[in-house]
Amino acid sequence: MNVILDLCIIPIGVGVSLSPYVAACEKVLKEAGLKMVLHASGTNIEGEWDKVFAAVKRCHEVVHQMGAPRISTFIHLGTRTDRTQTMDDKIKSVEGKLGGP
């Protein structure tokens, strides 16, 4: 089962600068060989369910190891059985309906 997942990991108790932790997670996801795109509120990830969630768990482990005593994470994910759809497909599907001049 393939999944398109949006991940937002918030370390708590480490001050206001969270980017070092987000960068560490980006490395975890990259090392897992997952297709991913960073955006302003999270990271879009595409891949096989088990592989994606193993990486999400690894992110939590790494962020705790970096010193965060508490983590709050938000995930939005989608699966579908009617057809194959990539992250690019989803964006193009909307853009195709926005029309031109």
Positions in the binding site for a copy of itself (CB under 8 A)? 1, 4-6, 8, 10, 12-13, 15-16, 18-20, 22-23, 26-27, 37-42, 44, 46, 49-50, 53, 57, 60-61, 64, 69-82, 87-88, 90-91, 93-98
Structure tokens at 53: 């969630």
Minimum Å gap between C-beta 2 and a copy of itself is: 11
What minimum distance in Å lies between the beta carbon of 89 and a copy of itself? 9
**CA 93, 94, 97, 99: dihedral to nearest 10 degrees?**
-110
Closest distance between a copy of itself and the C-beta of residue 32, in Å? Answer: 15
Q: CA 3, CA 70: separation in Å to the nearest integer?
A: 26
Render the burial of 21-50: b for 16+ CB within 10 Å, e for the rest: bbebbeebbeebebebeeeeebbbbbbeee
